[in-house]
Chains A and B, each alone.
Chain A
Amino acid sequence: MQTPEQQQQQQQHEPDPPLLRLRGIVKRFGGFTANDHIDLDLRAGEAHGLIGENGAGKSTLVKIIYGLLQPDAGEIFLSAERIRLASPREARARGIGMVFQHFSLFENLTVAENIALALPSAETLHGLRPRILALAERYGLSLDPDRPVWSLSAGERQRIEIARCLLQDPRLVILDEPTSVLTPQEATKLFETLDRLKAEGRALLYISHKLDEVRRLCERATILRLGKKVGDCDPRRESPRSLAALMVGAEVADISPSAPHAQGPDLLVVDDLSLASQDIHGVDLSGISLRLRGGEILGIAGIAGNGQSELFAALSGERLGAGAEKIRIAGAPAGARDITQRRLMGAAFIPEERNGHAAAPAFSLAENVALSRHAAAGFARNGALNFARARQTARDIIGAFDVRASGPDAAARTLSGGNLQKFLVGREILGQPKVLVVDQPTWGVDAAAAGAIRQALVDLAGRGAAVLLISQDLDELFDVCDRVCVMHAGSLSPPRDARETTRAEVGLLMTGSVIEAAHAH
């Protein structure tokens, strides 16, 4: 670890200027300071990690480097020349390329069209095809130029982003959380590509909150916390634990397992559930069976878009049509019941999308409590809502789950992602459900809130409830689940004991190879 002072001394002795140098970058959004006097040096051929929690200011900083945002103060030097980047076009012209976290791709255009859009206008689509194929060959990125993007997997989409970036022959490649949607195998392939880029002398700025990846790839790292640079380090010499402590600013608590408890009766049973999707971009569910006992947490791993949302909708009753006997909640057939009826049977559901699905963004927290628990918690009598009770319940949730909000009347959208998610998890858990189905509860949530949410799920199971956890985060699944199964292309693999399976094994299932092999027999 170096303090900023030591670092400054060191810089005064540097012989040649770094490829990219940031000095005192400040970016404010209204009263919120996203970047507060950030310095950064990046050399050619260096892989530099930019790590920090969600909301630490990493994405804002790289958007400034890529010309998408204008800093309020501070200087950017590229090869010792002070530059001002008015647009991404200028950044690309100067050799700065970026691979986005949320893909900046166009669903209805083909691979070649998507790539052409980022290149100088002189390029013709016709001349581009051989170049795409040559590049794909050179970096091991297999791509079909004529496929439309909507038909591609997340890994393929990312290869488009990378190819698009590389065709401009950049000196600096910025990667914003590139592995967040990849399987472990796809991530390994990505790292091989990145190693090749490094060997060619290109600089990489690698943003992640996955510390293992930063340690694997980067020789230097800058750590941001709440918009400020809190230090830099050689990540290879740090442990994931020490890096996490730097990121969070405190020691990270481990999840404590619930006290040993006996597993109860089957509370959620799904029997050979098949359901055709109603959405043209959706996934058909085929032959899903699972059996979840009280006191147990079953995890469903899988890459997004493999039928998880469809399964969630079928379980929650948002999508009917499965047949009464296909889904049983606490022993009773529930397949033909609607959402409210299923809640009355003792089930609770937390959808993936916080704002707009799990909560109405413009409604107050108390109103959001009433929306999901009006029937099961008896807030409504003869059609009239008892708002005093809903507000009291909201207050209880805020207290019990340490939600940072101004009170039960705060609008849901004014809460940060982590706080709103804690509130939503608390809303369902305080109702003491027998069955809880939860989809991606910690996506985009800071580490402290994620830890609290996971602990709440473990505690709920410890009290005898059955928890079904759908997640893309393998660390999370292995942290809290008793058994894990994998969803791929609408099918569910048989569950495995979480202590007896490995990440590699689950990762392989996520690509579908094993499930398909099993189906072939």
Chain B
Amino acid sequence: MNAQLFELVLLTIVTASIPLVIAALGELVTERAGVLNLGVEGMMIVGAALGFAGAWASGSTLVGALCGVAAGMILAALFGLLTIVLAVNQVAAGLALTIFGVGLSGLLGAGFVGLKREGAPHLQLPGLSDLPFVGKLVFGEDAFVYAAFLLVALAAYFLARSRAGLALRAIGDNHDSAHALGLSVRGVRFLAVLFGGACAGLAGAYLSLAYTPFWAPGMTAGRGWIALALVVFASWKPWRVVLGALLFGGATVLQLHAQAASLGLPGQLMSATPYLATILGLVVLSLGARRNSAAPAALGQVFVPPR
């Protein structure tokens, strides 16, 4: 394998990982606040449909991305209304949100099937972007990639260092104690759910604006579920989510290349390897530090303030 091909493979790995990083990061923050939102897949695919629609109508990738974010947040607000305000079971509401989102995206995106637009523009730094090997990888990505890494860094800082992040973690750990201290359990949880929705919507918009770039029904192809699993196996730690997503993206791209090279293994088995590799890798990671797991103790529990 020559260096050019190797660089190409690395580039596609990053591209394949980014939607997972963004969606999983949003779910991670949501779960750290104690809310389990199984609707990631639904929010993601509506984000993909509306993101493409917005970009097509306006001609701007940025407007499209913002439309995707807004779509994710609207669905998340619906989820928050059900589970946080009305105290509905989170698992049921999340599953319903995914089913609803998949259906809604088909409806909203019906008029855009088969349309194609330019992919999101890539960074061009004279000199730097043309460096051999690392140039394109580090200095020539599209804006989503940089936004994703910035988001991870901000979220990691927010959770570990900021006062508001401390309150959010406390609420996810024990909402009764947090309430007894006077923290606004439902307010913080609602904001966390909205953040999760925004991220899922952005991840969806990335798929239809930069990854492919066109809209096709069902194009998320279970990435929302992978993002959910990544959060658990990453022990609710932001940088581990990146690691898990790269592992998954890497396995996806490599098995494609392996299939192209026709190694003689059944294609179905090859297609399953990214899932197996990601689960294995993260299980090994989470086994290593069981005591250090930041699993939110109040995850999935409905909070009803005593009055």
Contact = CB atoms under 8 A, between A and B. Distances in A.
Interface of A: 67-70, 87-90, 92, 100, 103-109, 113-114, 116-118, 121, 124-125, 280
A108 B180 contact: no
A88 B182 contact: yes
Contacts of B181: 88, 104, 117-118
Contacts of B297: 107-108
B174 interface: yes
Contacts of B294: 108
B148 to A, nearest CB: 27
Given A87-B182, A88-B182, A280-B291, A108 B166 contact: no
A118 B290 CA distance: 28
B167 interface: yes
Interface string B256-296: 00000000000000000000000000000000001100111
How many of chain B's residues touch chain A, expressed as a range? 20 to 34
B31 to A, nearest CB: 13
Contacts of A121: 163
Contacts of A104: 174, 176-177, 180-181
A31 to B, nearest CB: 15
A455 B51 CA distance: 72
B177 A106 contact: yes
A69 B305 CA distance: 10
Contact of A88 (B163, B167, B180): B180
Contacts of A114: 170
Contacts, number: 60
Contacts of A100: 180
B166 A117 contact: yes
B306 interface: yes
29 contacts: A68-B179, A68-B180, A69-B306, A69-B307, A70-B307, A88-B180, A88-B182, A90-B182, A92-B182, A104-B174, A104-B180, A104-B181, A105-B174, A106-B169, A106-B174, A106-B177, A107-B297, A108-B169, A108-B294, A108-B297, A109-B166, A109-B173, A117-B178, A117-B183, A118-B181, A124-B163, A125-B161, A125-B166, A280-B291
A353 B291 CA distance: 26
Nearest to A100: B180
Contacts of A105: 174, 177
Interface in B160-213: 161, 163, 166-167, 169-170, 173-174, 176-183
A321 to B, nearest CB: 20
B174 A107 contact: yes
Q: Which 10 A-B pairs have the closest CB atoms?
A: A88-B182, A104-B177, A89-B182, A106-B173, A104-B180, A87-B182, A106-B170, A108-B173, A106-B174, A118-B181
Nearest to A87: B182
Nearest to B164: A121
Contacts of A92: 182
Contacts of B296: 108
A125 B167 CA distance: 13
A457 B253 CA distance: 69
Contacts of A107: 173-174, 297
Given A69-B307, A88-B182, A100-B180, A117 B291 contact: no
Contacts of B183: 117
A109 B169 contact: yes
Contacts of A103: 177
Contact of A67 (B163, B182, B295, B306): B182
Contacts of B173: 106-109
B174 A117 contact: no
Contacts of A118: 181
A116 B307 contact: no
A100 B178 CA distance: 12
Contacts of B166: 109, 113, 116-117, 125
A109 B294 CA distance: 9
B257 to A, nearest CB: 41
A68 B296 CA distance: 24
A117 B170 contact: yes
A90 B181 CA distance: 11
Interface string B63-99: 0000000000000000000000000000000000000
Nearest to A66: B180
